[in-house]
Amino acid sequence: MPTLPALQTANAAPHEFAIRAASPEDFPAILQCLRSAYEPYRAQYSSRAYLDTVMTPDTLIERLRTMTVLVATDTRENVVGTIGGATVSAGEGHLRGMAVPPKHHGRGNAQLLLESMEKHLWMNGCACITLDTTEPLQRAMRFYEKNNYRRTGKITDFFGMPLIEYAKHF
């Protein structure tokens, strides 16, 4: 796994939370973070799509093996957000598994997670970053669009649900 750059941004209030690379010790907290963030949408997901989104311990191990996974932690080191990202081809990165539980919305940790992963991918040669999302996640779509991600027009099947691709070019 490549070394992470310094993960500091002017948008975060000092000492509210920090961004760091995930470790195996974070697995239970990451899984809980994903379940908490996506539970409000569970009924709108197919069962397989939901399980793929919130992951299992085995799929999380695979993600940590193949991607850089970051966590946002509060002052007590509780995981309050997560994001994964990987270089998928020359010049292209892909985001996967961004989650912030509802009780932590509006505090800026989603913004800091996104900026930190973008910086990491950009420093590893990615000039374009893609991500996929689903129709139930309208708030996430607005967040990505606010951060200059645009729909590419590509829609694929995600266990019976439309999966909408977004991209951002640097």
Its pTM stands at 0.90
Q: Is the pLDDT of residue 2 over 70?
A: no
The yes-or-no verdict on residue 8 having pLDDT over 50 is no
Q: What does DSSP assign to residue 135? A: T
Segment 11-66, tens digit of pLDDT: 445 558 899 999 999 999 999 999 999 999 999 999 999 999 999 999 999 999 99
Tell me the two tokens of residue 103: 């009780």
Interatomic CA distance for residues 170 and 142, integer angstroms:
19
Closest among 40, 37, 4 to 22, alpha carbons compared: 4
All domains of the chain in start order, with CATH = 17-129 (3.40.630.30)
Report the candidate in 78, 123, 117, 61 with the shortest Cα–Cα distance to residue 94.
117
% the chain with pLDDT above 90: 89
Q: Please give the average per-residue pLDDT across 100-111, as a whole number.
A: 94
